[in-house]
Amino acid sequence: MAEFSKQWVDINDPEFEWDFDIEEITSQLNPNHYIPIICEGFGFIAIGKDTDNNIMLAMPTGETETDENGQISDQVVWQAYEDVIK
């Protein structure tokens, strides 16, 4: 099932029911922490805070990386909330 943030719904389809609020989630995060959550609308796979309490969103690059244990992970670029939510 696709998940959509309140912010995406407010901008793109106000009649649609949203699943989570980015700002509410980050209000509960400590600096330099993140929570994995997907927004199909904006395309991010995690929400976090940097060391200055700025909201950051993990945008996948389309590339993967394999660690020394063989675990594969998506590569991301952390982008500022304001740059994604326009």
Query: Per the domain annotation, does 1 fall within a domain?
Result: no
Helix (H), strand (E) at residue 35? strand 34-36
Give the Cα separation of 13 and 28 in Å (integer).
26
Query: Per the domain annotation, does 35 fall within a domain?
Result: yes
Q: For 15-43, what is the mean pLDDT?
A: 96
What pTM, to 2 d.p., does this model score? 0.89
Angle, vertex CA 63, rays to CA 62 and CA 65, nearest 5: 145
Burial of 71 (0-12, 13-18, 19+ CB in 10 A): exposed
Domain holding 15, by residue range, is 6-84
Query: Per the domain annotation, does 61 fall within a domain?
Result: yes
Q: What is the pLDDT of residue 2?
A: 76
Q: What is the pLDDT of residue 86?
A: 82
Query: Per the domain annotation, does 51 fall within a domain?
Result: yes
Q: What is the pLDDT of residue 1?
A: 61
Query: Per the domain annotation, does 69 fall within a domain?
Result: yes
- The string of pLDDT tens digits covering residues 42-74 is 999 999 999 999 999 999 999 999 999 999 988
Contact (Cβ atoms closer than 8 angstroms) between residue 45 and residue 58 = yes
Query: Per the domain annotation, does 79 fall within a domain?
Result: yes
